[in-house]
């Protein structure tokens, strides 16, 4: 999976959670732009870990400025 594919899967997952009418791009920040709160974020992380088979525990320290692009980068890194 490449960066673009990971971003599209993340965007689709966010649209399922937040509704398909929301405007999302690679620069959208989960908290600042997309209205995530800490509970929604933790539920989303659990979903992504299950969906992608990765451990995203280290994301918890950088949640304030987490974008779709940076989240996709975490998912595709070896």
pLDDT single digits (tens) 26-55: 999 988 899 888 888 888 888 888 888 887
Q: Tell me if the pTM is above 0.85.
A: no
Buried b (16+ CB within 10 A) or exposed e, 49-72: eeebeeeeeebeeeeeebbbbbbb
Q: Which of 77, 75, 78 is nearest to 11 (CA)?
A: 75
Q: For residue range 18-29, list pLDDT tens digits in order.
A: 888 889 999 999
Rounded distance between C-alpha atoms, residue 52 and residue 37, angstroms:
22
Residue ranges of domains in the chain, CATH in brackets? 3-76 (1.10.1200.10)
Helices (H) and strands (E) in the chain, counts: 3, 0
């Amino acid at each position: 999976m490449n960066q673009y594919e990971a971003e599209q899967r993340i965007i689709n997952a966010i649209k399922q959670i937040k509704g398909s009418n929301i405007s999302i791009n690679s620069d959208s920040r989960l908290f600042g732009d997309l209205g995530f709160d800490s509970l929604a974020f933790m539920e989303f992380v659990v979903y992504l870990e299950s969906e992608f088979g990765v451990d995203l525990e280290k994301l918890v320290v950088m949640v304030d400025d987490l974008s779709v692009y940076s989240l996709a980068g975490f998912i595709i890194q070896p």
